[in-house]
Structure 1
Amino acid sequence: MQPFVYNALPARVIFGWGTSSQVAQEVKKLGCSRALVLTTPQQVDAGEKVKADLGDLAVGIYSNATMHTPMHVTQEALSKAKELNVDCCVSVGGGSTIGLGKALALHSPDDAKIKNIVIPTTYAGSEATPIIGQTENDKEGKPLKTTQKTLKVLPEVIIYDIDLTLTLPAQMTVTSGLNAVAHAVEALWAVEANPIISNLAVQGIEAIGRSLPLIKADPKSRDGRSDALFGAWACGTCLGAVGMSLHHKLCHTLGGSFNMPHAETHTVILPHAVSYNAPYAQEAVSRVAKALGVDNAAQGLFDLAKNNGAPYSLKELGFKEEDLEKAADIAAKAPYPNPAPLEKEKLLKLLTNAFHGNRPE
């Protein structure tokens, strides 16, 4: 056994069927009494149900959570939280809503931190990480997404309710699941990799890999939905415990600077990032392939997306071919640690293959 360092993250996780009904008692356990429910505009109905479950503990709903956590949205939500004297928030939804809950925790005063209970409805995995990505304009007025890692944004409680995922649309299920898989894949080749997280990463990849075909065949498959949600937690925990590499750098570039959709972009980029790193991370990539039950990890991830109805090219997501070089330029700057050297021309080739939806070699 090789020497390693492992930092466990403090977390309370509740997993099962119908568990969101326990939200009021979780608010009380935190010593809180004034909860603000957070949602996107599309998930107000889910937020209203949680608000009803909270009863007198709920003081309102903020329903403008937005992809990539723009700072102007965070400031608006903070103003509402201050106006309502909020002491905790309940984030109901996927990465956009969870990101806003993290932002409220980050930007609230240390002596009056807004605590965060998360009820995920997708497989994004952000709820299990102390990582936040925020978007604001740079000096030239162009959007730029930056990330930071701090325990201040780690939610106090995660309530996984499998019932809430049964209506997640099939395509969103696949893209959200593969977004989660990306966390586990990068954990296997991270600088901070350790045997505890690596074993959890393999479990997460296996769980989501077997769940997606089950859900495609039957969107309400109990085995498929429970495996997918467990896999999301496992993969998110991996991302929270170790660092990010090329894949996340590319996705943060495409999302923050070009407003590309989050989960779909992760789905498209992941096979190509694995192919790029494969010669320099052979053991990690071999474990991904084994977890998926395939010979070639990059091709297996590509096929998992394509065969289950997910997008597999940047072109179909609306990315402009003329922006490929600019994206490669941005990704090559301030790079994350990565097994393979980051060279602009090779990054441009990776992005070009992803743009056209070429199956990795």
Structure 2
Amino acid sequence: MQPFVYNALPSRVIFGTGTLDQVPQEIKRLGCSKALILTTPQQAKEGKELKKLVGDLAVGIYTNATMHTPTNITDDAVGLAQKLGVDCLVALGGGSTIGLGKAIALRTDLPQIVIPTSYAGSEATPIIGQTQDGQKTTQKTMKVLPEVIIYDISLTLTLPTQMTVTSGLNAIAHAVEALYAQEANPIIDLLAQEGIKSLAKALPVVIRGKEQDVLQARSDALYGAWACGTCLGAVGMSLHHKLCHTLGGTFNLPHAETHTIILPHAIAYNAPYAKSAIAKVASSLGAENAAQAVYDLAKGLGVPYSLKELGMKEEDLEKAADIAVKSPYPNPAPLERERLLKLLRDAWAGNRPE
């Protein structure tokens, strides 16, 4: 066994069906009584229902959480939180809402209760990404790690087909990069392989399986998302996440779809330099070629598999490659502009990795 360092993250995790009902007691458990509920505009209805459930423990609701966590939205939400004198945050939704909760916590140190409705995994990490002036930056700080995560399987049952798949593949990306991260360790390796396996088996059943099997598959997918998110929270990020943050922050491409498209190409890029890690990915997928297996999974489930489909302009690929190599970051394979440009061109065209 090689020497390693492992830091466990201090989050309380509640997993099951119908667990949303536990929000009021979790607010009280934190010693709080003036919660601000956060959602996107699309989930405002669910936020209002949650506010009704919470009753007098909620003093307000903010329904303008936005993809890539733009700082002007955070300014607005922080202003409301201060005006209402809130003492905790309750974020109901996917990565956009969870990101906003983290951004508010970063500035105010308010405790967070997070209720994920997708497989984004951000809820399990002390990582925050924010966008300002067309540039998305990330930082890692325990100030943004949610104190409580409530996973309610029933909240994922109506997750749209495309979001189910892209959100799930986004989660798989967290586990893949954890396997070749600088801080990789045997505990996270096991969790990463478990997360990849759970999601890869569950997603096809959720989308195309028999009705009686879907609830169990949704449960397995949400469990896998937690496992993958925990991996991302415990170790660092590499090429895949750097490229996705560049494409999302600068070119405003949708988060989960971008992760879905870039992942197989990032795996192929790193494969010769991280053979053991990529072999674990392949084994978890039940395949010989990890990059091709991820590509085939996405394409086979009918989600976008090219940047072109997302509206990315071919002439912007050069700029994206320039941004991606600007600041050095850990990655198994050397970060070479021309190789990165080829990766982006293959992703843009939707080519199957070799």
* TM-score between the two structures when normalised by the length of structure 1: 0.97
Give, as a single letter, the amino acid of the residue that structure 1 aligns with 2:70. Answer: P
What does the per-residue CA deviation read over 1:176-234, in whole Å, with 9 as the maximum and x for residues that have no partner?
A: 00000000000000000000001000000000000011001149611110011001100
Q: Which residue does 1:46 correspond to in 2?
A: 46
Determine if contact 1:251/1:269 at 8 Å carries over to the other structure: yes
Determine if contact 1:38/1:91 at 8 Å carries over to the other structure: yes
- Work out which of the residue numbers 309, 321, 327 in structure 2 matches 1:316: 309
* Alpha-carbon distance between aligned partners in 1 of 2:39 and 2:348, rounded to the nearest angstrom: 31
Tell me how large the CA RMSD over aligned residues is. 0.8
> How far did 1:336 drift?
2.0
Q: Which residue does 1:135 correspond to in 2?
A: 131
Uncovered stretches (5+) of structure 1, i.e. residues with no partner: 138-142
Q: Does 1:289 align with 2:282?
A: yes
* Alpha-carbon distance between aligned partners in 2 of 1:275 and 1:4, rounded to the nearest angstrom: 26
Superposed, 1:183-222 pairs within 5 Å as 183-218=174-209, 221-222=214-215
* Alpha-carbon distance between aligned partners in 2 of 1:327 and 1:335, rounded to the nearest angstrom: 15
Superposed, 1:130-279 pairs within 5 Å as 130-137=126-133, 143-218=134-209, 221-279=214-272
* Alpha-carbon distance between aligned partners in 2 of 1:295 and 1:206, rounded to the nearest angstrom: 14
> How far did 1:290 drift?
0.5
Give, as a single letter, the amino acid of the residue that structure 2 aligns with 1:239. Answer: L
Structure 1 vs Structure 2: percent identity of aligned residues?
71
Structure 2 residue matching 1:334: 3-state secondary structure:
coil
Q: Does 1:58 align with 2:49?
A: no
Q: Which residue does 1:343 correspond to in 2?
A: 336
> How far did 1:52 drift?
1.3
* Alpha-carbon distance between aligned partners in 1 of 2:276 and 2:45, rounded to the nearest angstrom: 45
Uncovered stretches (5+) of structure 2, i.e. residues with no partner: none
Determine if contact 1:249/1:335 at 8 Å carries over to the other structure: no
Q: Which residue does 2:7 correspond to in 1?
A: 7
**How many residues were matched structurally?**
352
Structure 1 residue matching 2:159: 3-state secondary structure:
coil
TM-aligned CA distance change 1:34 to 1:181, over 3 Å: same
* Alpha-carbon distance between aligned partners in 1 of 2:100 and 2:289, rounded to the nearest angstrom: 37
Question: After TM superposition, where is structure 1 displaced by more than 4 Å over at least 4 residues in a row?
Answer: none
* Alpha-carbon distance between aligned partners in 2 of 1:164 and 1:102, rounded to the nearest angstrom: 21
* Alpha-carbon distance between aligned partners in 2 of 1:264 and 1:204, rounded to the nearest angstrom: 19
